Chain A
């Protein structure tokens, strides 16, 4: 359930970032201070927060393809929200991304046998040390 919530949060974040950044690219170079940029930065923070929290419980190679669903959402948003025409190539690209996400989502989200590369006689890692201290 948490993974589903996280994933949907992530895709909403990505969608908004994707949508905004089109304006971002055009306007940011011309005018730094415009409302799109402020909105974009807020959405960027929201996206970043969901992205990092997803990374806290899933592999990078799981989170990255999953967050690329954002591209697909942008395309659907453009097609049905903005009534843009979407070329055949684009639909095929969407199909490829969706297939990739489907493949990775069918597997385990975390494969780490250990959280850190095996370093002999390393100092106690912060995460395990702190988790023992906490109630």
Chain B
């Protein structure tokens, strides 16, 4: 029963952290190159600009939800299951989301990288 809860938590973590990554990525693309903007208009302006971006706020909320789900998940399952399972599934989910939501050109090279990293993270837990 606890194991079901742990897997449910893993699913929630994967969904929320993927949503958070996608929103943050979109927000930061809207803000523009941070280093560039820092040089041109100062750090505080850049920070204010980031914080005013709604995608950033929602992304942050999604990330917080992911973090709390991780804490819940850890109370139901082992660290060695919950942490790597959610991390490696998030890599794959993110590649899919980046392709279809952010319209990044996820070529063979990037799919391979996402799968290799996901497999590597999974393997480190064995």
Contacts and interface: CB of A to CB of B under 8 A. Distances in A.
Interface of A: 2, 6, 25, 28-29, 51-53, 55-57, 59-65, 68, 71, 75, 87, 89-90, 92-101, 103-104, 106-107, 111-117, 125-127, 130-131, 134-135
Nearest to A95: B120
Interface residues of B, number: 53
B105 interface: yes
A61 B35 contact: no
Contacts of B126: 87, 89-90, 93
B117 A61 contact: no
Interface class of chain B by DSSP:
helix
B114 A115 contact: no
A51 B34 CA distance: 11
Contacts of A65: 91, 113-114, 117
A77 to B, nearest CB: 14
A22 to B, nearest CB: 9
